[in-house]
């Protein structure tokens, strides 16, 4: 009678793996998509340049030179 339990353990284990492995892969994929999203920036290069100038990160001469480079 000991041999009958052997199939039941492995049969259940395979069915469990068929369910759990895709579920774990799906969760890892979803987490990776949330964490490593590409940065979505709708601002144009000129808008970024204007913002840097307004914050004082660049001088007026650097602003004008960069603006000419964008045109």
pLDDT at 10 over 60: no
Domain identity same for 8 and 30: yes
Domain identity same for 46 and 64: yes
Boundaries of domain holding 23: 1-40
Domain identity same for 48 and 35: no
- Is residue 66 within 8 Å of residue 58, measured between CB atoms? yes
Determine the Cα–Cα distance for residues 71 and 59; give it in Å rounded to an integer: 19
Domain identity same for 49 and 62: yes
Domain identity same for 5 and 23: yes
Q: Can you give the pTM of this predicted structure?
A: 0.43
Determine the Cα–Cα distance for residues 20 and 16; give it in Å rounded to an integer: 6
Q: What is the pLDDT of residues 12-58, one digit of tens each?
A: 677 777 888 999 999 999 999 888 877 777 788 999 999 999 999 99
Q: What is the pLDDT of residues 55-69, one digit of tens each?
A: 999 999 999 999 999
């Amino acid at each position: 009678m000991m041999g009958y339990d052997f199939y039941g353990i492995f049969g259940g284990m395979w069915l469990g793996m068929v369910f759990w492995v895709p579920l774990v892969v799906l969760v890892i994929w979803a987490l990776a998509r949330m964490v490593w999203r590409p940065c979505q920036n709708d601002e144009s290069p000129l808008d970024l340049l204007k913002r840097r100038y307004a914050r004082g990160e660049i001088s007026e001469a650097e602003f004008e030179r960069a603006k000419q480079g964008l045109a």
